[in-house]
Amino acid sequence: MIRDLVIVGSGPAGYTAAIYAARAQLNPLMYEGSVTAGGALMNTTEVENFPGFVDGVMGPDLMDSMRKQAKRFGTELITDDVVEMDLTGDIKILKDGSGNTVQAKAVILATGSAYREIGLENEKRLSGRGVSWCATCDGFFFRDQTIAVVGGGDSAVEEATFLTKFASKVVLIHRRDTLRASKIMAERALNNPKIEMLWNTEVTDVLGVDKVEGLQLRNLVTGEVSKRDFTGLFVAIGHIPRSELLLSQVTLNSEGYVSVEGQSTRTNLNGVFACGDLVDFTYRQAITAAGTGCQAALDAEKFLSH
Amino acid sequence: MSAGKVTAATFDEIVLKSSKPVLVDFWAEWCGPCRAVGPILDDIANEYGDKITIVKLNTDEESAIAIKYGVTSIPMLNVYVNGEVVKTIIGAKPKPALLKDLEGFI
């Protein structure tokens, strides 16, 4: 059986695409991901800037609502991963983690992004042993400790602020001398007595045998190298697009983001559309992802009706 | 047989004194990835229950044991053989990846 449309990925982009595609009676099949269903917002707490929620909404609750909405209109959901794709032909072929194969005339790619790592060997080695990329996931285990957060954008500032609920002290390490974060978030962090700022500083090594015990730091202005004790490191320096499965099929830009035609969601391949953080390296908001998810469904519908 | 529950009271008997390898899943209600990996472990328990026992430990309820085993990130899976931790898997992984990690035990 050849389906009309398969959607790969389940953040705001994927679910919005599903809602629109289901209502257009394209009978979409959606791969949500076996452990990543719901996308990046599953790892955040209050979302205050998604329009329509006066008092804010919890990330997981927002995603749960989107999921229910997609299901309501008939989206078929599979909580599994796509592990292989051949998108080059007229009929696209996708294989999932359980070994099943699906064929479709059109595919919407909405796989989003993953956490960027600093790139240090000890960062990887001590992952889960004091090194984390998710404050809401692991902050709980750092009660009354002195921990570090690396980054200068909204994610870093949000994580640092969240972590003050548990840690006795949070040191926010940023390589510049001003935060990139939105003004309201930056202000909250700078006014938080538990947060100490380390400007113009980068982490050059993570120290510790079985768990994080400290960090080696370098001041980017003076060049001075120093060591400081920490029992936790949260890395919040941005994201990288999840385009690993698309290499040599779909046109990607130099950073690995999927290239689309102008303001549309059309990729270089006929019948293949991309949306959300897999494409967007500029805005990367839940609402912009949802917007492009809608566009992808409409682009797919137009394609399928020809 | 899906994954059972283990507490501080039953840890010794179910985990440390087991003749079979035991996988302990350290989880919490508020941990999304933990909830995602739960059903996967139930599946594995159903399929390989004769080779390995799989149990879940709630880190909110049993924080002393979590601290004892150095849990700093969940989900965390410890495989115990003869009372000792022989393998630790950190983070939620899809079923095929977990089966690969548990190759020596199933």
pLDDT, tens digit (0-9, with 9 covering 90-100), for A188-236: 999 999 999 999 999 999 999 999 999 999 999 999 999 999 999 999 9
On whether any CB of chain A is under 8 Å from the CB of B72, the answer is: yes
Measure the CA–CA gap between A99 and B45, rounded to whole angstroms.
20
How many Å separate Cα B34 from the centre of its chain? 11
Chain B nearest CA to A32, separation (Å): 11
Chain B nearest CA to A255, separation (Å): 25
Closest by CA position to A20, among listed A294, A306, A301, A290: A294
The amino acid at A248: S
Whether residue B1 has pLDDT greater than 80: no
On whether any CB of chain A is under 8 Å from the CB of B100, the answer is: no
Closest by CA position to B36, among listed B44, B27, B45, B24: B27
Q: Return the residue in B37, B73, B74 with the most chain A beta carbons within 10 A, the one to mutate for interface testing.
A: B73
Mean pLDDT value of segment B44-67: 95
| Contact (CB<8Å) A137/B74 | yes
| Contact (CB<8Å) B33/A38 | no
Whether the Cβ atoms of residue A143 and residue A43 lie closer than 8 Å to each other: no
| Contact (CB<8Å) B73/A132 | yes
Dihedral angle of Cα A217, A223, A224, A225, to the nearest 10 degrees: 40
What tokens appear for A288 in the block? 């912009």
Q: Return the residue in A98, A126, A141, A206 with the most chain B beta carbons within 10 A, the one to mutate for interface testing.
A: A141
Residues of A with CB under 8 A from a CB of B: 34-38, 42-43, 60, 80-81, 83, 97-98, 127-130, 132, 137-138, 140-142, 210-211, 232
Contact residues on chain B for A242, CB-CB shorter than 8 A: none
Of B33, B36, B73, the CB nearest to A141: B73
For A38, nearest residue in chain B (alpha carbons) = B32
Measure the CA–CA gap between A291 and B3, rounded to whole angstroms.
40
Q: Hey, which residues does A131 pair with through a beta bridge? A: A127, A233
> Which residues of B are the active-site residues?
31, 34
β-pair type (A272-274, A131-132): unpaired
Burial of A295 (0-12, 13-18, 19+ CB in 10 A): buried
Q: Indicate the pTM of the whole model.
A: 0.90
What tokens appear for A206 in the block? 């993570």
Burial of A261 (0-12, 13-18, 19+ CB in 10 A): exposed
> Which residues of A are the active-site residues?
134, 137-138
Q: Return the residue in B30, B41, B68, B72 with the most chain A beta carbons within 10 A, the one to mutate for interface testing.
A: B72
| Contact (CB<8Å) B90/A128 | yes
Whether the Cβ atoms of residue A163 and residue A186 lie closer than 8 Å to each other: no
Element (H, E) at A95: strand A92-96
Which residues of chain A register pLDDT less than 50? none
β-pair type (A57-58, A46-47): antiparallel
| Contact (CB<8Å) A128/B73 | yes
pLDDT tens string A14-48: 999 999 999 999 999 999 999 999 999 998 888 99
pLDDT tens string B84-97: 999 999 999 999 99
For A41, nearest residue in chain B (alpha carbons) = B32
**From the CA atom positions of chain B, what is the Rg in Å?**
12
pLDDT given at position A45: 84
pLDDT given at position B2: 79
Of A42, A97, A128, the CB nearest to B95: A97
Measure the CA–CA gap between A154 and B85, rounded to whole angstroms.
38
On whether any CB of chain A is under 8 Å from the CB of B35, the answer is: no
What tokens appear for B34 in the block? 């933990």
pLDDT given at position B30: 84
- Residue matched to tokens 């035990």: B105
Residue A262 CB contacts under 8 Å (≥ 6 apart), including other chains:
none
pLDDT given at position A273: 98
